[in-house]
């Protein structure tokens, strides 16, 4: 497009166009400029860019208020700070790299620069605190759907919060909440997804259990597009759940995607470890495990290893 056309369309001067093109090049947009002809965009930057994200975003609220960091300790920690300061429903924090990315139970989350989606969404749902795990369900379903739409890959969910492709973990979800006994102040849904990590990019101890979309698909994935798609699916699910109030529909889809059900599992709780077969999920999102003595036990939290999945033999 010629500089003249751009300046006319946007109602700005030719000098302003020329200056902005310079800024875009510095930000990683590759541009050809040929005198008397104009500019041609040849490559988008591999960065989480506000302008790119806004270009892809189709949501009403999710991600419309947004903080992008080059480097941060943990997006969940930052999101909690912002939520305490009054940040609105749908506010998003995302970072290129996390220095102290967190998993559950004090575990750490590998978040190398420029290769993943390390993001936290602030939600202010109007349901009681005991329903907060439902946000993990919605987030898990949204991740699976977004992966499928953007890459064509089929992912499953390992209860409660791991997204799995080809038996390896591609994404983890960390839901944290601040609440009074009967009212949620806020929920922070933290999502960590390995997008363009290569095999050698994982630390040694994760090489058998972790994967990325690039490894599975064999091609580079546009993180901005994926993030926008994820927010759009999640907002859609959230709206649908809020309008119908019917969680069973979501839970049924979750069960279809849940790789844990029907498989041998080992449950490691705070005080004991036991084995059995995962047979069902309750309406409260507990995992029902049938032990060898045919006793049915409900697991609410804790660590569940599934045979054959994410490095557990």
Which stretches of the chain bind ligand BT5, using CB under 6 A? 74-76, 98, 101-105, 107, 109-111, 118-120, 161-162, 169, 172-174, 190-192, 194, 206, 210
Q: Which is nearer to ligand BT5, 57 or 164 (CB)?
A: 164
Q: In angstroms, rounded to a whole number, what is the distance separating the alpha carbons of residues 106 and 270?
A: 14
> Which residues are within 8 A (CB) of 216 and not within 5 positions of it... i.e. 6 or more apart?
151, 153, 165, 166, 170
CB of 143 to ligand BT5, least distance (A): 11
Of 196, 164, 176, the closest CA to residue 75 belongs to: 176
CB of 120 to ligand BT5, least distance (A): 5
Q: Which is nearer to ligand BT5, 106 or 181 (CB)?
A: 106
CB of 21 to ligand BT5, least distance (A): 34
Q: How far is CA 209 from the centre of its chain?
A: 18
Q: In angstroms, rounded to a whole number, what is the distance separating the alpha carbons of residues 29 and 88?
A: 31
CB of 95 to ligand BT5, least distance (A): 8
Residue owning tokens 């003249």 = 4
Q: Which is nearer to ligand BT5, 3 or 192 (CB)?
A: 192
CB-based contact 159:281 (threshold 8 Å): yes
CB of 90 to ligand BT5, least distance (A): 16
In 3-state terms, what secondary structure has residue 103? Answer: coil
* DSSP class of 82: H
Q: Which is nearer to ligand BT5, 109 or 241 (CB)?
A: 109
Q: Which is nearer to ligand BT5, 6 or 170 (CB)?
A: 170
Residue owning tokens 């005198």 = 35
């Amino acid at each position: 497009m010629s500089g003249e056309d751009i300046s006319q369309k946007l109602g700005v001067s030719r000098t302003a166009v020329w200056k902005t093109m310079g800024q875009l090049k510095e930000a990683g947009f590759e541009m050809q400029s040929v005198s008397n002809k104009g500019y041609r965009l040849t490559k988008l930057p591999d960065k989480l860019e506000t302008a790119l994200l806004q270009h892809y975003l189709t949501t009403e609220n999710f991600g419309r208020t947004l903080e992008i960091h080059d480097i941060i300790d943990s997006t969940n920690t930052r999101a909690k700070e912002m939520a305490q300061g009054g940040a609105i429903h749908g506010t998003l924090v995302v970072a290129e790299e996390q220095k102290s990315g967190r998993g559950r139970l004090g575990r750490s989350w590998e978040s190398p620069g420029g290769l993943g989606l390390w993001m936290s969404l602030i939600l202010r749902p109007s349901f009681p605190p005991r329903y907060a795990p439902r946000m993990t369900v919605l987030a898990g379903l949204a991740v699976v759907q977004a992966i499928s739409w953007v890459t064509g890959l089929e992912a499953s969910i390992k209860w409660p919060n791991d997204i799995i492709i080809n038996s390896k973990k591609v994404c983890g979800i960390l839901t944290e909440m601040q609440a009074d006994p009967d009212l949620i102040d806020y929920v922070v849904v933290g999502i960590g997804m390995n997008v363009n990590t290569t095999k050698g990019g994982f630390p040694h101890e994760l090489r058998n259990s972790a994967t990325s979309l690039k490894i599975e698909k064999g091609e580079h994935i546009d993180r901005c597009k994926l993030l926008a798609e994820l927010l759009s699916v999640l907002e859609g699910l959230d709206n649908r759940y809020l309008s119908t109030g019917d969680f069973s529909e979501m839970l049924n889809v979750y069960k279809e995607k849940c790789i844990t059900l029907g498989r041998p599992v080992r449950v490691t709780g705070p005080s004991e470890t036991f084995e059995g077969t995962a047979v069902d999920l309750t309406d409260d999102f507990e995992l029902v495990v049938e032990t060898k003595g045919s006793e049915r036990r409900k697991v609410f939290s804790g660590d569940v290893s599934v045979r054959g999945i994410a490095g557990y033999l």
